[in-house]
């Protein structure tokens, strides 16, 4: 009688259930198969997991809002690389020579600004031309990556600033900067999407654009804002990661868009728009990273990891569809 | 007399949704050749009952019998194979495919190697279309048809099998009177062939024209059946909502003030031309005409969804340009659109969020939307319009058709507009709520709003309007004051008899 309610609960927590299963499985399997002698659910290991999730995770937050809005952004990987270059390279520009360590925030702002401008370009093209976001950002993915290669050819762009590395690797009670940024922005974006007018309207536009227009919602500006936000978040992700590493290869960030979309979809956000949540995306990101680490822990190689993630993605979405279709006429026919 | 066996019998059907007992042990039967009207308020469970019958929902309890043998309906296709055909309230056609392909969707005739047998597909479809008196060919692409013709295709689908029972769920919502006549012919034709018909509608005139028996549902319970020949509207209404209504009576009219909106020589391509009219505050002007007379297009222009090719719009005596709904809303114009699912509602959102959608930007506390302010608005209009939902959290897509319409109306009423345009406001709404909505429209006028009501239901136009504008083929044929308007001269005007056109 109350199956639908139960399903709904399960649906919302499906990704969390999956994470629990992963943890249990890898803890037990790790006991017998582990290539190291550390326990899988070791505290340090879990903290590392969060930190490693951050680059993809921060971008995934942006992808979630763009997808809720009924669009998609394939250019995030290229944006990420380009912003990394801007940040590292700008620190060596002669005009900033007199700034000393104050060049660091300047470089950050430049990188974040670049991300927002790239997002703005995507958003404006999608709005003003009415071309599908998939096509537009497929184009800008190629274009932005072209810019990356024009910058330094096949050469990596490097700049090591120890103060920067110190900041990037700082920690609060053992939780490192990337993790803090990821968690804080998850909360901020969640507030944005669930509590503000912008969030409400973004859901409405993604679900039924015509109804949104009829309600006097300015569809274009909302879409543009979301593209600016994802550009910002892609840049933020680059800032967080490359502040520590100090060197960017022109191919960095390739295929990030697919990993990001995988995480978002695993978290239950619909490709068609109108529904989804950044909290579930957070879960999706953690689930993927757990899977990677866990499989590595029991000795699987990268090829194996990719195969398993692919299979699990399809399995989870199939399960999700089954759970949500019972008793609902739309999906049954 | 020989005791006939029912073609179809439902016994003790129970169906629950979270928070709603939609059907509570309903029993219902349809004899061969009978036209059985199913009535009830919005959300009474009519569509749910028929969906159980059509294999779309599985009942929690109860049994379905066909020719007195118990059956289960696993899926709509299964139900169709067992002779129960469901004609949906909402169209479900593939717009890119041809009429013939749609009629035989899922069961295309084939030749060897699975090739489609186009010849028999087209000849069979042509035969069905002929039976329905349709003017288009089987090769026509469905997307090019009008809504009414699409409905005909939907009906044509039902005729591909040897049906025992055909269910029509509010089939006339988008049909013109002429098309309705054709539909009624088809229904009588089917019933003469011994097919049992279930007919759901909120329009009493239709029910008394076509049905032989009337059954009433209320709050998911069966309330009784009446032979159509031995009853009257009042008795049926009593059974449905527990009180009688006088829908024919004209509601009291208010004092009118100065002109709120004036349209001068407005044209829009071939859709309508040289349209001029004024609406004063405190006044309700009804636009009556056939489907396709250009009324909806005028409304869309006033709301900024279409640009006029010529002419001007004046609000409070000043010319305004309205390029988008944003402009319109800013000027105090609201539109309750004709197609609630396409244009009005965000189906995945809950009831409250849908209702506050156009004004959510004004309901903030700091950076966040204020829950309390939203709930207050929702509660107010839920009570005012008697919207039936377990809570504001319910997805609008799960409400019954009529309650969805009420959400759209509530959404625009709560904006307190200066000029309110309502396009077919009571389509699919039960008689009780219909009179509520009429009263509400009059109330708004009394408070000084200017209201434009577009409707294809003559009694509705006659009841709520202070003035009636009759349209035909994109032109205003005549304006009537409420004293001079009668059914007869209105019918004349909208069928294009212009001898009495006032200069
Ligand atoms: N899929 C669903 N999920 C949850 N509740 C539902 C669902 N479908 C219907 N209901 C609820 O069941 C009740 C009966 O709905 P139903 O659509 O059968 O009403 P109806 O008699 O056809 O009304 P109307 O005249 O407005 O079309 C309503 O309260 C409705 O909100
Ligand atoms: Mg219904």
ipTM: 0.78
pLDDT of B479 strictly over 60: yes
- Residues lining ligand 1, CB < 6 A? B 17, 20, 22, 40, 42-48, 388, 398-403, 430
List pLDDT tens digits, range B254-266.
677 888 999 999 9
The answer to whether the beta carbons of residues B26 and B220 sit under 8 Å apart is yes
Distance CA A29, CA A52 (A): 22
Query: How distant is the alpha carbon of residue B95 from its chain centre?
Result: 21
Distance CA B268, CA B475 (A): 11
Query: What pLDDT does B343 receive?
Result: 83
Statement to judge: residues B273 and B418 lie in one domain: yes
Question: What angle, 0 to 180 degrees and rounded to 10, lies between the N-to-C axes of helices B431-446 and B371-385?
Answer: 110
Determine, yes or no, domain membership for B215. Answer: yes
Query: What pLDDT does B502 receive?
Result: 44
pLDDT of A189 strictly over 90: yes
Paired tokens of A262: 């995988």
Pick the residue from chain A with its C-alpha nearest to B354. Answer: A204
Instruction: Say which DSSP state B3 is in.
Output: -
pLDDT of B30 strictly over 90: yes
Residue of A207, A210, A274 with shortest CB distance to B343: A210
pLDDT of B467 strictly over 70: yes
List pLDDT tens digits, range A120-134.
999 999 999 999 999
* pTM, full prediction: 0.81
Domain stop point among B241, B273, B294: B241
Domain A14-30+38-323: assigned CATH number: 1.10.3470
Pick the residue from chain B with its C-alpha nearest to A201. Answer: B357
Pick the residue from chain B with its C-alpha nearest to A5. Answer: B18
Question: Domain residue spans in chain A?
Answer: 14-30+38-323
Instruction: Say which DSSP state A44 is in.
Output: H
Helices (H), B414-486: 431-446, 458-464
Determine, yes or no, domain membership for B254. Answer: no
The answer to whether the beta carbons of residues B59 and B12 sit under 8 Å apart is no
Pick the residue from chain A with its C-alpha nearest to B58. Answer: A327
Cβ distance B343 to A218 less than 8 Å, yes or no, reads no
End-to-end, the C-alpha distance of chain B in Å comes to 64
pLDDT of A223 strictly over 70: yes
Cβ distance A203 to B346 less than 8 Å, yes or no, reads yes
Q: Where does residue A252 fall: left (phi above 0), alpha (psi -120 to 50 degrees), or beta otherwise?
A: beta
Please tell me the number of the ligand nearest to residue B45's CA: 1
pLDDT of A326 strictly over 50: no
The answer to whether the beta carbons of residues B358 and B332 sit under 8 Å apart is no
Distance CA B180, CA B145 (A): 17
Cβ distance B369 to A195 less than 8 Å, yes or no, reads yes
Determine, yes or no, domain membership for B172. Answer: yes
Picking from B493, B456, B429, B424, the residue whose alpha carbon sits closest to that of residue B177 is B456
List pLDDT tens digits, range B56-85.
899 999 999 998 899 998 888 888 888 898
pLDDT of A13 strictly over 70: no
Picking from A297, A304, A239, the residue whose alpha carbon sits closest to that of residue A55 is A239
- Mutate-to-test residue for ligand 1 from B48, B386, B388, highest number of ligand atoms within 8 A of CB: B48
Helix (H) or strand (E) segment spanning residue A242: helix A219-245
Query: What pLDDT does B254 receive?
Result: 63
Does residue B291 or residue B284 have the better pLDDT? B284
Question: What would the 3-class secondary structure string for B154-212 be?
Answer: HHHHHCCCCCCEEEEECCCCCCCHHHHHHHHHHHHHHHHCCCEEEEECCCHHHHHHHCC
CB proximity under 8 Å: B 312-331 to A: 324-326, 328-329
Question: What would the 3-class secondary structure string for B24-58 be?
Answer: EEEEEEECCCCEEEEECCCCCCHHHHHHHHCCCCC
pLDDT of A56 strictly over 90: yes
Determine, yes or no, domain membership for B249. Answer: no
Residue B347: list chain A partners with CB under 8 A.
207-208
Residues near B133 by beta carbon (within 8 Å), at least 6 away in sequence: B182, B185
Which position has the token pair 């800032």?
A239
Residue of A2, A216, A333 with shortest CB distance to B76: A333
Statement to judge: residues B169 and B287 lie in one domain: no
List pLDDT tens digits, range B96-143.
889 998 888 877 888 877 788 888 889 999 998 888 778 889 999 988
Map residue B119 onto helix, strand or coil.
helix
Pick the residue from chain A with its C-alpha nearest to B412. Answer: A215
Distance CA B314, CA A233 (A): 47
Chain B closest-CA separation from residue A45 CA (Å): 37
Does residue A110 or residue A306 have the better pLDDT? A110
Query: What pLDDT does B250 receive?
Result: 61
For residue B302, what are the CA distances in angstroms to B52, B264, B419, B427, B447? 42, 12, 10, 21, 22
Determine, yes or no, domain membership for B2. Answer: no
Paired tokens of B309: 């090719």
Picking from B453, B424, B387, the residue whose alpha carbon sits closest to that of residue B172 is B424
Query: How distant is the alpha carbon of residue B157 from its chain centre?
Result: 21
Picking from A246, A264, A270, the residue whose alpha carbon sits closest to that of residue A321 is A270
pLDDT of B340 strictly over 90: no
Cβ distance A207 to B346 less than 8 Å, yes or no, reads yes
Cβ distance A1 to B343 less than 8 Å, yes or no, reads no
Between strands B221-227 and B213-218, the pairing is antiparallel
pLDDT of B247 strictly over 70: no
Statement to judge: residues B231 and B288 lie in one domain: no
Picking from B254, B258, B256, the residue whose alpha carbon sits closest to that of residue B314 is B258
Beta strand extents in A99-167 (DSSP E only):
157-158
- Mutate-to-test residue for ligand 1 from B394, B400, B409, B433, highest number of ligand atoms within 8 A of CB: B400
Domain stop point among B190, B212, B241: B241
CB proximity under 8 Å: B 263-322 to A: 303, 305
Statement to judge: residues B109 and B218 lie in one domain: yes
pLDDT of B29 strictly over 80: yes
Picking from A320, A83, A196, the residue whose alpha carbon sits closest to that of residue B371 is A196
Q: How far is the CA of B217 from the centre of ligand 2 (A)?
A: 12
pLDDT of B1 strictly over 80: no
Determine, yes or no, domain membership for B253. Answer: no
Supply the Cα-derived Rg of chain A in whole angstroms: 21
What CATH number does residue B348 fall under? 3.40.50.300
- Percentage of chain A exceeding pLDDT 70: 89
Q: What pairs with residue B110 in β-bridges?
A: B116
User: Is the Cβ of A215 closer than 8 Å to some Cβ of chain B?
Assistant: yes
Residue of B16, B353, B358 with shortest CB distance to A1: B16
> Residue A1's pLDDT band (boundaries 50, 70, 90)?
very low
Residue B57: list chain A partners with CB under 8 A.
327, 329
Structural domain boundaries enclosing B201: 8-241
Q: Read off the pLDDT of each residue in A289-312 and give the average, rounded to a whole number.
A: 86
Q: Which of A195-209, B32-46, B315-329, B487-501 has the lowest mean pLDDT?
A: B487-501
Residue B338: list chain A partners with CB under 8 A.
none
> Residue A323's pLDDT band (boundaries 50, 70, 90)?
low
Statement to judge: residues B213 and B296 lie in one domain: no
Which position has the token pair 């209105």?
B490
Distance CA B206, CA B451 (A): 28
Query: What pLDDT does B489 receive?
Result: 82
Statement to judge: residues B111 and B172 lie in one domain: yes
- Give me the half-sphere count of Cα atoms (radius 13 Å) on the Cβ side of residue B448: 6
User: Is the Cβ of B349 closer than 8 Å to some Cβ of chain A?
Assistant: yes
For residue A177, what are the CA distances in angstroms to A188, B157, B202, B493? 16, 63, 63, 76
User: What is the count of structural domains for chain B?
Assistant: 2
- Residue among A203, A211, A276, A324 with most chain B CBs within 10 A, to mutate: A211
Paired tokens of B81: 């194979």
Q: How far is the CA of B398 from the centre of ligand 1 (A)?
A: 7
- Mutate-to-test residue for ligand 1 from B13, B18, B20, B395, highest number of ligand atoms within 8 A of CB: B20
DSSP-assigned letters across all residues of B216-269: EEETTEEEEEEEGGG--HHHHHHHHHSS----SSPPPPPPP-SEEEEEEEEEET
Instruction: Say which DSSP state A255 is in.
Output: T
Backbone angles phi, psi at B270, to 5 degrees: -95, 0
Q: What pairs with residue B225 in β-bridges?
A: B215
Report chain B's mean pLDDT, rounded to a whole number: 86
Question: What angle, 0 to 180 degrees and rounded to 10, lies between the N-to-C axes of helices A76-90 and A133-152?
Answer: 30
Between strands B364-365 and B368-369, the pairing is antiparallel
Q: Read off the pLDDT of each residue in B267-288 and give the average, rounded to a whole number.
A: 91
List pLDDT tens digits, range B288-328.
987 778 898 999 999 999 999 999 999 998 999 999 999 99
User: Is the Cβ of B422 closer than 8 Å to some Cβ of chain A?
Assistant: no
Between strands B35-39 and B196-200, the pairing is parallel
List pLDDT tens digits, range A233-292.
999 999 999 988 889 999 999 999 999 999 999 888 888 888 899 999 999 999 999 988
Cβ-in-10-Å burial (0-12, 13-18, 19+) of A180 comes to middle
Domain stop point among B209, B241, B273: B241
pLDDT of B144 strictly over 90: no
| A-B contacts at Cβ under 8 angstroms | 88
């Amino acid at each position: 009688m109350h199956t639908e309610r139960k399903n709904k609960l399960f649906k919302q927590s499906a990704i969390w259930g999956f994470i629990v299963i992963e943890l249990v499985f890898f803890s037990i399997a790790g006991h017998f198969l582990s290539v190291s002698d550390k326990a899988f659910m070791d505290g340090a290991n879990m903290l590392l997991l969060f930190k490693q999730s951050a680059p993809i995770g921060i971008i995934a937050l942006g992808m979630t809002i763009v997808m809720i809005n009924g669009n998609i952004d394939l250019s995030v990987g290229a944006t990420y690389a380009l912003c990394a270059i801007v940040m590292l390279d700008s620190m060596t520009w002669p005009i900033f020579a007199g700034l000393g360590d104050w060049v660091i925030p300047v470089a950050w702002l430049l990188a974040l600004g670049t991300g927002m401008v790239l997002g703005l370009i995507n958003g404006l093209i999608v709005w003003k031309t009415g071309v599908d976001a998939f096509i537009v950002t497929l184009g800008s993915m190629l274009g932005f990556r072209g810019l990356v290669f024009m910058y330094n050819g096949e050469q990596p762009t490097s700049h090591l600033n120890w103060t920067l590395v110190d900041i990037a690797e700082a920690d609060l009670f053992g939780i490192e900067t990337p993790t803090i940024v990821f968690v804080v922005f998850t909360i901020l974006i969640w507030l944005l999407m669930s509590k503000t007018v912008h969030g409400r309207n973004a859901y409405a536009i993604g679900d039924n654009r015509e109804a949104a227009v009829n309600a006097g919602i300015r569809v274009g500006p909302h879409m543009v804002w979301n593209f600016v936000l994802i550009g910002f978040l892609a840049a933020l992700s680059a800032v967080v990661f490359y502040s520590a590493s100090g060197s960017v290869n022109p191919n960095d960030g390739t295929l990030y868009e697919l990993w990001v979309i995988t995480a978002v979809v695993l978290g239950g956000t619909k490709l068609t728009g109108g529904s989804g949540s950044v909290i579930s995306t957070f879960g999706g990101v953690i689930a993927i990273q757990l899977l990677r680490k866990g499989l590595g822990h029991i000795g699987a190689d990268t090829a194996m990891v990719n195969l398993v993630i692919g299979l699990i993605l399809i399995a989870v979405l199939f399960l999700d569809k089954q759970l949500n279709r019972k008793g609902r006429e739309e999906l049954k026919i | 007399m020989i005791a006939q066996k029912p073609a179809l019998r439902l016994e003790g059907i129970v169906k629950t949704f979270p928070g709603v007992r939609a059907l509570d042990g309903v029993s219902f039967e349809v004899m061969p050749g009978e036209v059985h009207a199913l009535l009830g308020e919005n959300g009474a469970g009519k569509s749910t009952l028929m969906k159980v019958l059509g294999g779309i929902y599985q009942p929690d309890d109860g049994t379905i019998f066909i020719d007195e043998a118990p059956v289960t309906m696993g899926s709509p296709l299964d139900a169709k194979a067992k002779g129960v055909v469901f004609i949906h309230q909402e169209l479900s056609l593939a717009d890119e495919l041809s009429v013939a392909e749609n009629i035989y969707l899922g069961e295309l005739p084939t030749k060897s190697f699975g090739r489609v047998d186009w010849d028999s597909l087209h000849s069979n479809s042509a035969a069905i279309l002929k039976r329905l008196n349709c003017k288009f060919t089987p090769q026509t692409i469905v997307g090019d048809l009008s809504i009414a013709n699409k409905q005909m295709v939907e009906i044509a689908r039902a005729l591909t099998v040897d049906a025992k029972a055909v269910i029509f769920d509010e089939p006339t919502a988008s049909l013109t009177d002429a098309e309705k006549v054709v539909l009624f012919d088809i229904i009588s034709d089917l019933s003469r062939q011994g097919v049992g018909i279930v007919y759901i509608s909120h329009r009493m005139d239709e029910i008394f024209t076509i049905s032989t028996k009337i059954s009433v549902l209320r709050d998911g319970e069966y309330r009784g059946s009446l032979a159509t020949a031995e009853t009257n509207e009042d008795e049926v209404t009593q059974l449905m909502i527990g009180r009688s209504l006088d829908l024919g009576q004209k509601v009291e009219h208010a004092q009118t003030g100065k002109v709120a909106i004036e349209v001068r020589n407005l044209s829009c391509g071939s859709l309508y031309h040289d349209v001029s009219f004024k609406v004063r505050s405190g006044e309700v002007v009804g636009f009556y005409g056939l489907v396709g007379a250009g009324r909806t297009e005028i409304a869309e222009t006033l709301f900024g969804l279409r640009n006029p090719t010529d002419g001007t719009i004046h609000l409070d005596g000043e010319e305004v340009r309205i390029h988008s709904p944003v402009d319109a809303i800013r000027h105090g114009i609201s539109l309750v659109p004709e197609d609630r699912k396409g244009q009005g509602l965000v189906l995945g959102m809950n009831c409250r969020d849908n209702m506050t959608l156009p004004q959510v930007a004004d309901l903030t506390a700091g950076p966040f939307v204020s829950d309390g302010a939203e709930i207050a608005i929702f509660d107010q209009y839920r009570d005012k319009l008697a919207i039936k939902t377990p809570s504001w959290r319910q997805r609008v897509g799960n409400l019954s058709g009529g309650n969805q319409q009420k959400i759209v109306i509530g959404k625009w009423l709560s904006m307190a507009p200066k000029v309110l345009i309502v396009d077919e406001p009571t389509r699919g709404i039960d008689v009780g709520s219909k009179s509520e909505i009429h009263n509400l429209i009059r109330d708004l006028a009394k408070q000084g709003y200017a209201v434009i009501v577009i409707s294809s239901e003559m009694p509705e136009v006659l009841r709520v309007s202070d003035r009636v504008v009759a349209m035909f083929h994109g032109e205003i044929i005549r304006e009537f004051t409420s004293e001079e308007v009668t059914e007869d001269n209105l019918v004349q005007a909208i069928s294009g008899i212009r001898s009495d056109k006032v200069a």
